[in-house]
């Protein structure tokens, strides 16, 4: 990649107005696999953020601002083509930053980058807008119709768990709607975003439409961006507490916000479920990406007749998940993103024991006898024995850990699932169609999956209720956030 130097830990730079710039202090990004430095990253100062916002504003006044939906859709398709051309580089960048298994980066993270651009190219080119014929007071006719316009300069702030997937999930609709963006990836995952800047340039996205600033949150690029008077809207994915801080910063400028936040998602396994599918699905829903997916199930409630069998099988599968180096195709486990995050997760493992949990699988850290002992690994962990109000069942841990508890009937199951401050996703395992629909109606969650997990259609609404988010993105819901609607009323008489 030309965003960083070829030898030693590469230097990752900011991208402003179509140019890579490396003015400012630097920080080190370390490998979650070994703890060794992998990148030096230029931290964007207030003045770099000012330049990025100014470049974005200026781009809105240039050719980008004059393009129609279909032309923009064509640009988005070129971005998708270029992402596919740079596929191997992007996989390598994502694996270097996160330590995730190469098989997952190849099948989930990077394909979704291109898919996000293709989906929103299609959605923006085909989305209808409202129109109404109105009777005037004089008995004549008037035509009302809505016109979509860009919001302006959009700040995109994203976390480290699915870096390219989550970044492009927001950049694609923002560009589809004609905005210019300033993006801030997580300080833990600067590499794929830097490659995305190269992709944008190669795809012919006009200078200043996509700008990238690296850095941290408070007192750094993240806060500079959210407090910037030149930013019109903020779209954010991350922790609920960070969402609160950003909302306070956005209040000063009355900026629109869209928030995809934390979760403490429940899985419900009914006694009539296909238990093989429920166990396999729960292994995925609790341990994918080291449990570092906002949609992961950290609480599973199982109907009493199958509770013991389900728990024993889940614990066995957790113990069997394969460790390996990220580039080994058989690897299933991955390290946590950092030693800081590992300390937090291990603190939760200790807390669970203090609260009286029984550890049915894992509960500690693996030993490898090689360089991975310098990494941020923890064992996939299955817990039982705690009540619904235990902190272990209330606080988002964001690691490969799940607590399993029994329930007796449907009402109890729905009440347990709803019993946290969060409401992002729920997963229900049952062949009973009536129960599936009741779950959809009664669970406090933005997404209810039945007999599946993380099956995505990019046209559907995505977001959370309660502390899990503000607003919805996906399909036309993204268009609604990333555009302003002007109603035009023409008297036809």
Task: Enumerate binding residues for ligand 6OD (CB under 6 A).
Answer: 161-162, 166, 169, 260, 293-295, 456, 462
The rounded distance, in Å, linking the Cα atoms of 282 and 289 is 13
What's the closest the beta carbon of residue 162 comes to ligand 6OD, in angstroms? Answer: 5
Contact by Cβ (8 Å): 243, 421: no
Q: 424 contacts which partner out of ligand NAD, ligand 6OD, none, CB within 5 to 8 A by kind?
A: ligand NAD
| 27 near ligand NAD, judged by CB under 6 A | no
260 noted as active-site residue: yes
The rounded distance, in Å, linking the Cα atoms of 225 and 213 is 9
- Joined together, the tokens standing for residue 81 give 């083509």
Select from 22, 24, 118, 116 the least CA-distant residue to 74: 118
State the number of binding residues for ligand NAD (CB under 6 A): 31
- Joined together, the tokens standing for residue 114 give 């291109």
What's the closest the beta carbon of residue 21 comes to ligand 6OD, in angstroms? Answer: 29
Nearer to ligand NAD, 279 or 467 (CB): 467
Running DSSP on this structure, what letter comes out for residue 443? S
Antiparallel, parallel or unpaired: β 256-260 and 469-470: antiparallel
* Bridge partner list, 469: 260
The rounded distance, in Å, linking the Cα atoms of 12 and 196 is 12
* Bridge partner list, 149: 484
Reduced DSSP (H G I as helix, E B as strand, rest coil) percent helix, strand, coil of the chain, to 5 = 40, 20, 35
69 noted as active-site residue: no
What's the closest the beta carbon of residue 367 comes to ligand NAD, in angstroms? Answer: 26
| 263 near ligand NAD, judged by CB under 6 A | yes
| 183 near ligand NAD, judged by CB under 6 A | no
Residues 187-216 touching ligand NAD, rule: CB under 6 A, are 187, 216
What's the closest the beta carbon of residue 237 comes to ligand NAD, in angstroms? Answer: 5
Q: 262 contacts which partner out of ligand 6OD, ligand NAD, none, CB within 5 to 8 A by kind?
A: ligand NAD
The rounded distance, in Å, linking the Cα atoms of 152 and 232 is 6
Q: 471 contacts which partner out of ligand NAD, ligand 6OD, none, CB within 5 to 8 A by kind?
A: none
| DSSP H/E element including 231 | none
What's the closest the beta carbon of residue 415 comes to ligand 6OD, in angstroms? Answer: 25
6 CB neighbour count, 10 Å cutoff: 8
Residues 284-343 touching ligand NAD, rule: CB under 6 A, are 294
- 226, 289, 297, 430: residue in contact with ligand NAD (rule CB under 6 A): 226
| 173 near ligand NAD, judged by CB under 6 A | no
77 CB neighbour count, 10 Å cutoff: 17
Nearer to ligand 6OD, 339 or 459 (CB): 459
Nearer to ligand NAD, 14 or 237 (CB): 237
| 246 near ligand NAD, judged by CB under 6 A | yes
Q: 285 contacts which partner out of ligand NAD, ligand 6OD, none, CB within 5 to 8 A by kind?
A: none
Q: 184 contacts which partner out of ligand 6OD, ligand NAD, none, CB within 5 to 8 A by kind?
A: ligand NAD
102 CB neighbour count, 10 Å cutoff: 18
| 160 near ligand NAD, judged by CB under 6 A | yes
| 223 near ligand NAD, judged by CB under 6 A | yes
| 469 near ligand NAD, judged by CB under 6 A | yes
Contact by Cβ (8 Å): 290, 399: yes
Piece in contact with ligand NAD (CB under 6 A), picked from 201-209, 231-239, 355-363, 404-412: 231-239
What is the sign of the dihedral through the CA atoms of 485, 52, 87 and 290? negative
- 142, 202, 245, 351: residue in contact with ligand NAD (rule CB under 6 A): 245
Dihedral angle over CA of 4, 6, 10, 13, nearest 10 = -10
Residue in 260, 396, 410, 473 annotated catalytic? 260
Select from 81, 21, 82 the least CA-distant residue to 52: 21
Q: 81 contacts which partner out of ligand 6OD, ligand NAD, none, CB within 5 to 8 A by kind?
A: none
- Joined together, the tokens standing for residue 248 give 């306070």
- Joined together, the tokens standing for residue 241 give 């507490």
What's the closest the beta carbon of residue 484 comes to ligand NAD, in angstroms? Answer: 24
| 261 near ligand NAD, judged by CB under 6 A | yes
DSSP string, 151-181: -SEEEEE--SSSHHHHHHHHHHHHHHTT-EE
Report the catalytic residues: 260, 294
The residues binding ligand NAD (CB under 6 A) are 157-161, 166, 184, 186-187, 216-218, 222-223, 226, 237-239, 242, 245-246, 260-263, 294, 396, 398, 424, 464, 469
């Amino acid at each position: 990649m030309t965003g960083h130097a070829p030898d030693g830990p590469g230097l990752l730079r900011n991208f402003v107005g179509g140019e890579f710039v490396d003015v400012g202090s630097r920080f080190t990004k370390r490998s979650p696999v070994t703890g060794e430095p992998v990148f030096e990253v230029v931290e964007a100062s207030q003045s770099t953020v000012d330049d990025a916002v100014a470049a974005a504003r200026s781009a809105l006044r240039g050719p980008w601002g004059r393009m129609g939906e279909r032309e923009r859709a064509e640009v988005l398709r070129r971005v998708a083509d270029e992402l596919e051309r740079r596929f191997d580089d992007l996989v390598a960048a994502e694996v270097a930053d996160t330590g995730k298994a190469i098989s997952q980066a190849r099948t989930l993270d990077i394909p979704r980058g291109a898919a996000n651009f293709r989906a929103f190219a299609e959605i923006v080119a085909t989305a209808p807008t409202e129109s109404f014929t109105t009777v005037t007071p004089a008995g004549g006719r008037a035509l009302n119709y809505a016109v979509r316009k860009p919001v302006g300069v959009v700040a995109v702030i994203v976390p480290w768990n699915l870096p390219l997937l989550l970044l492009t999930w927001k950049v694609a609709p923002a560009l589809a709607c004609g905005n210019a963006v300033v993006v801030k990836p997580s300080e833990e995952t600067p590499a794929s975003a830097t490659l995305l800047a190269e992709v944008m340039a190669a795809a012919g996205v006009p200078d200043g439409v996509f700008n990238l600033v690296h850095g941290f949150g408070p007192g750094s690029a993240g806060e500079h961006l959210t407090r910037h008077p030149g930013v019109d809207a903020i779209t954010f994915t991350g922790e609920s507490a960070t969402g609160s801080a950003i909302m306070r910063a956005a209040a000063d400028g009355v900026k629109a916000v869209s928030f995809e936040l934390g979760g403490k998602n429940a899985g419900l396994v009914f006694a009539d479920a296909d238990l093989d599918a429920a166990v396999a699905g729960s292994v995925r829903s609790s341990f994918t990406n080291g449990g570092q997916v906002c949609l992961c199930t950290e609480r599973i409630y199982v109907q009493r007749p199958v509770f013991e069998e389900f728990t024993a099988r889940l614990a066995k599968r957790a113990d069997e998940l394969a460790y390996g180096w990220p580039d080994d195709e058989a690897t299933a486990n991955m390290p946590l993103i950092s030693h800081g995050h590992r300390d937090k997760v291990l603190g939760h493992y200790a807390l669970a024991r203090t609260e009286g949990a029984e550890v049915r699988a894992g509960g500690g850290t693996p030993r490898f006898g090689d360089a991975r002992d310098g990494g941020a690994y923890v064992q996939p962990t299955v817990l039982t024995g705690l009540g619904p109000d235990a902190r272990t069942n209330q606080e988002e841990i964001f690691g490969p850990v799940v607590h399993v508890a029994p329930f007796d009937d449907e009402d109890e199951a729905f009440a347990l699932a709803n019993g946290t401050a969060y409401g992002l996703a729920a997963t229900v395992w049952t062949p009973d169609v009536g129960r599936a629909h009741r779950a959809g109606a009664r669970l406090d969650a933005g997404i209810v999956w039945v007999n599946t997990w993380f099956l995505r259609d990019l046209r559907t609404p995505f977001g959370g209720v309660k502390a899990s988010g503000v607003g919805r993105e996906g399909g036309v819901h993204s268009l609604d956030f990333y555009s302003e609607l002007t109603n035009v009323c023409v008297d036809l008489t």
